[in-house]
Amino acid sequence: MSVIDRIKRAAALTLRTVEFGYYHVLLSTVDRVSRLPRNTTVPEAMRLYRENIALKAQLDALEAELAQRTKPAPVPMATRASQVFAYFLTRGDEPFQRYFLSASLSTVKRWATRFRSLFRRRNVGGRPPLDEKVVELIVTLKRENPAWGCRRIREELRRMGIRVSEPTVSRILKENGFSPRPGRKLDFERVRSSAKDALWALDYFAVQTAKGVWLQALLIIDVHTRELIDLRVHDGWDVDSVWTIRMFNEACAREKRSPKAVVHDHGAHFMGQFERQMRVLDIENELTPVGLPSMNCYAERAIGSIRRELLRQIRVADAKELQFFLDEYRRYANTERPHQGIEGRTPEERSQDTPLAELIDLDTVRRRKLERREYAHGLLRGYALAEDVPSAKAA
């Protein structure tokens, strides 16, 4: 081996050593900066982060290779499709589109337009909309024959030479205020009341404790006054009608009042013993149509307020603690919380027919001070203007 060959081999070995040292320093720096763990239990987010770095490195290498070509070849269709797909998935993520798409944003949008033109459906198809005359026939048949259901109306139209599916008849009836079930009409007036204790609404809602245990809570509300008659917690998930009627009777005994009618959904906890007891007490039992919780809107609205104003701010440990907070909320809602549906008055003011407060002048406001009343450990607050009594030291 000649001297020149030895020098070349030594130079090549030195170059490889320098290259290895360079990449070793680079990898060590990346490891220190990114702090990526090297174990087999990598979290999902960390795994995705590593894949992102690897894809970016490959993309940089491919871009550098394409830039070296004097006459770049046309971009394959698969590459265009993948870029368009990435653009659709990350629409609105401007940093990703700016740095991670292999083509400019305008080019990718142009590709997307071409893909849409290729796969645009020339004929949308589907069933044509139902003619207004047929809709009028369905509504007329239901109005003149309340006991008819969807199937009877469909068969009647079929005898006339009109073919309409049963689900379509059901949809048309719902849109026009009729129940698909025979003999029932979606009359929202029947879930309203014009007097105190004329109608109470009942419903259940679930609450999860800090230990992951689910509890059920019974809500009873007077539709006319918006009073929360009771909020009672059941320590568990399965509630039967026996427990429901027992809580209902306890609420009636405590408040020394009972309703003329109640409205609720088709839950099993409102069947059986509850229905029999309603007949014994001579209380009318109204059931909302299946799939229409808006018919029990007063109870649903009260449950939504309880969740927003109280339950989202706390995490109870057990049923006893949840019962304490719900009792506090009931006191607050009945005495302090104004309702838009009852002219901005509280349920207690509506129940006692208390008139609205008279307007006071600015001098009276200056002589009074703000009085704050707290409920549920300060989570809920009520306010009033009280007479500012001077202290003895000031006198």
What would the pLDDT profile of 37-66 be if each residue is shown by its tens digit? 544 445 677 777 777 877 887 787 777 777
Q: Locate 20 and state its tokens.
A: 């290895």
Sorted by sequence, the CB contacts under 8 Å of residue 62 that are 6+ apart come out as 102
Q: What is the pLDDT of residue 118?
A: 63
Q: State the chain's mean pLDDT as an integer.
A: 79
- Distance, CA of 387 to CA of 366 (rounded, Å): 10
Q: Give pTM, 2 decimals.
A: 0.53
For the packed helices 150-159 and 132-144, what is the interaxial angle rounded to 10 degrees?
A: 120
Q: Higher-confidence residue: 385 or 282? A: 282
**Is the predicted pLDDT of residue 158 greater than 80, yes or no?**
yes
Q: What is the pLDDT of residue 293?
A: 66
Q: Higher-confidence residue: 234 or 340? A: 234
Task: Calculate the CA 324 to chain-centre distance.
Answer: 26
Sorted by sequence, the CB contacts under 8 Å of residue 208 that are 6+ apart come out as 214, 215
Q: What is the pLDDT of residue 330?
A: 92
Q: Higher-confidence residue: 261 or 385? A: 261
What would the pLDDT profile of 186-205 be if each residue is shown by its tens digit? 555 555 666 788 888 999 99
Q: Locate 263 and state its tokens.
A: 């409205």
Closest CA to 30 of 56, 11, 5, 8: 56
Q: Higher-confidence residue: 92 or 237? A: 237
- Distance, CA of 282 to CA of 78 (rounded, Å): 73
Local structure of residue 210 (DSSP, 8 states): T
Residue 223, amino acid: V
Q: How far is CA 209 from CA 115, 180, 237, 240, 312, in A?
A: 51, 39, 12, 21, 12
Beta bridge partners of 286: 263
Let me know how many helices (H) and strands (E) the chain has, helices first.
14, 7
- Distance, CA of 135 to CA of 140 (rounded, Å): 9
Contact between 242 and 265 under an 8 Å Cβ cutoff? The reply is no
Residue 364, amino acid: T
What would the pLDDT profile of 343-378 be if each residue is shown by its tens digit? 778 888 888 877 777 777 778 878 888 888 888 888
Q: What is the pLDDT of residue 40?
A: 46
Q: What is the pLDDT of residue 271?
A: 86
CATH class entry, domain 196-346: alpha beta
Report, as an integer, the average pLDDT of 98-107: 75
Q: Higher-confidence residue: 45 or 258? A: 258
Q: What are phi and psi of 245, to 5 degrees?
A: -70, -30
Return the SS3 of 85. helix
Q: What is the pLDDT of residue 41?
A: 47
- Distance, CA of 261 to CA of 282 (rounded, Å): 9
- H-helix or E-strand spanning residue 160: none
